[in-house]
């Protein structure tokens, strides 16, 4: 019965797969790897996403094996910020499919297109959740390799205290980039630029060069995402594919504040550190990035805090970056407010240095008057004590 309900316009719409477990209902999109559909788990009456490998790839044993291995790897990454892969299989006609959870919400690309650049506090929260997803995957040896705004979705959920909160969901772990390493032609072994897949605007320099990738490549892409969320555009864009790749390898990005002046220097420092050309210059792990973003949230404090005109030095993974008060020169309605006190959890005190200078609000004369008043009160108190002890009360 697999093909009885198939649509005349699409070979998979209406088709049941996995022995009638799922029914493919609606085409969504396609890429160089395959086609994506909205499907339904029939027994649970639950929507899922079905990804079907292109039929033209089924004769490519290397790609088929990598699809299966990647699906298995992605199914191991279980985290609240990662879309779950729930099934992987092959039909009798050789069709390969991968089933993942269905999510609503918008992609980051759609959100920025509708609303423009995100406020910095929201950027930090979103990137921190992405870093949490990366940390979970990297711990298992799974590298995403194709982080981009279309692959990260933002859902709105109600928190335990009844407030609405953003929940990040990262798609396609281990499956997003299934081709051979950049620049390698399967038939000749020669480098060729036509083999690039994914979004060059979010590829690390080492990925552009066809080098072996590690977790720090994902962190570079995370920096590109943060840049995009904060400014509405990636660090490098425009021009031909090769031009973008060369910029990723050789050019330094413009500071985000050049595009959006209100971006706090503290956030800008983190973004630019993520975009270091050499992996050694970036955060060395997703956990390290999460810690830096957490310290930034702690430094900023609650959104309703009042600005105090404080300069702060915050340690970013071993190097100290001077961060000026983000409210300096900002308009009165700017959302940012640096609280007058930075409280650091005890376990973090050895990992960061926070240096603060408070503006002096009292001159020397006021301080002297205050000291004289304290002295008079102390003398009166001593006199009363002596009177109680010796039977006399002496007041100077």
Q: Are 203 and 248 in contact (CB under 8 A)?
A: yes
> Which of 269, 272, 49 is CA-nearest to residue 175?
49
Q: Are 13 and 7 in contact (CB under 8 A)?
A: yes
* β-bridge mates for residue 27, sequence order: 37
Annotated catalytic residue within 45, 104, 146, 311: 146
Say how far apart CA 363 and CA 44 lie, in whole Å. 73
Say how far apart CA 204 and CA 182 lie, in whole Å. 12
Say how far apart CA 100 and CA 51 lie, in whole Å. 8
Say how far apart CA 289 and CA 138 lie, in whole Å. 13
Number of other residues whose CB lies within 10 A of the CB of residue 372? 9
Q: If you write DSSP's letter for every residue of 12-70 in order, what string do you get?
A: STT-EETTTTEEEEEEEEE-SSEEEEEEEETTTTEEEEEEEE-GGGTT-HHHHHHHHHH
Angle 56-58-61 from CA coordinates, rounded to 5°: 125
- Residue 87 falls in the annotated catalytic set: no
For the annotated catalytic residues, the residue numbers are 146
């Amino acid at each position: 019965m697999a093909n009885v309900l198939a649509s005349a316009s699409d070979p998979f719409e209406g088709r049941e797969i996995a022995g009638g477990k799922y029914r493919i209902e609606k085409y969504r999109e396609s890429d160089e790897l395959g086609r994506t559909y909205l499907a339904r788990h029939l027994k649970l009456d639950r929507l899922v996403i079905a990804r079907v490998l292109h039929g033209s790839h089924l004769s490519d044993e290397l790609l088929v094996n990598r699809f299966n291995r990647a699906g298995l790897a992605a199914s191991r990454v279980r985290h609240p910020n990662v879309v779950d892969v729930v099934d992987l299989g092959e039909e009798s006609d050789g069709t390969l499919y991968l089933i993942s959870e269905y999510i609503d919400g918008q992609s980051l690309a759609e959100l920025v297109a509708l609303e423009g650049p995100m406020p910095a506090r929201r950027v930090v929260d979103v990137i921190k959740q992405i870093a949490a997803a990366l940390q979970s995957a990297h711990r298992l040896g799974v590298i995403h390799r194709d982080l981009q705004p279309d692959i990260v979705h933002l859902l709105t959920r109600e928190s335990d205290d009844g407030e609405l909160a953003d929940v990040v969901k990262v798609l396609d772990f281990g499956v997003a980039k299934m081709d051979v390493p950049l620049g390698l032609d399967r038939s000749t072994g020669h480098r060729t630029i036509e083999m690039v897949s994914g979004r060059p605007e979010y590829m690390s320099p080492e990925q552009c060069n066809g080098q072996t990738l590690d977790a720090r490549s994902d962190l570079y892409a995370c920096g590109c995402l943060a840049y995009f969320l904060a400014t509405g555009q990636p660090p490098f864009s425009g021009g031909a594919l090769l031009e973008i790749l060369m910029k990723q390898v050789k050019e330094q990005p413009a500071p985000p504040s050049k595009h959006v002046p209100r971006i706090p220097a503290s956030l800008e420092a983190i973004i630019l550190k993520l975009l270091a050309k050499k992996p050694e210059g970036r955060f060395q792990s997703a956990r390290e990035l999460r810690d830096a973003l957490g310290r930034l949230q702690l430094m900023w404090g609650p959104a309703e805090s009042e600005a105090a005109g404080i300069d702060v030095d915050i340690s970013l993974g071993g190097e100290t970056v001077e961060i000026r008060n983000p409210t300096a020169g900002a308009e009165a309605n700017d959302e940012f407010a640096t609280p007058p006190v930075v409280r650091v959890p005890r376990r973090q005190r050895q990992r960061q240095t926070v240096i603060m200078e408070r503006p002096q609000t009292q001159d020397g004369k006021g301080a002297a008057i205050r000291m004289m008043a304290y002295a008079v009160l102390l003398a009166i108190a001593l006199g009363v004590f002596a009177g109680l002890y010796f039977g006399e009360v002496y007041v100077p």
